Amino acid sequence: MTRGDRFYDFSLRLLMLALGAALIGCIAWLAWRWSHPPAGNATVVPLTQVAPKVEPVPAMDAANSDAPQQVLLAPGQVFKCQNGGKVTFTDRPCPSEAR
């Protein structure tokens, strides 16, 4: 072995030891920080409990309960709406100004 090869091998071993020590130091520092978190400067905001307002539910008319339910969507139908030169297709009827 030549003198240059020994120096190269020795320098690689020193570099590997330095990097290993730095890695172990970083892991130890992170473990210490995780187990001892810094004291926070969080300000405590007082909370006041507020009771919800209860409103009475309006009663339904008996006359409306017998009427058939209104269908808002038209299944199976597609409406073509034109508004300002743009054409859209929807399952809802078009507004009167867009027909």
pLDDT tens per residue, range 32-46: 999 987 777 767 788
Q: How much is the pTM?
A: 0.37
Q: How many angstroms separate the most distant Cα atoms in the chain?
A: 107
* Of 68, 70, 88, 86, residue with least CA distance to 78: 88
Integer Cα distance of 83 and 97 in angstroms: 8
What's residue 63's pLDDT? 54
- When the pLDDT of each residue in the chain is averaged and rounded to a whole number, the result is 81
Q: 79-83 and 86-90: which strand pairing?
A: antiparallel
Integer Cα distance of 92 and 74 in angstroms: 6
pLDDT band at residue 97 using 50, 70 and 90 as cut-offs: low
Location of structure tokens 């409103």: 55
State percent of the chain over pLDDT 70. Answer: 77
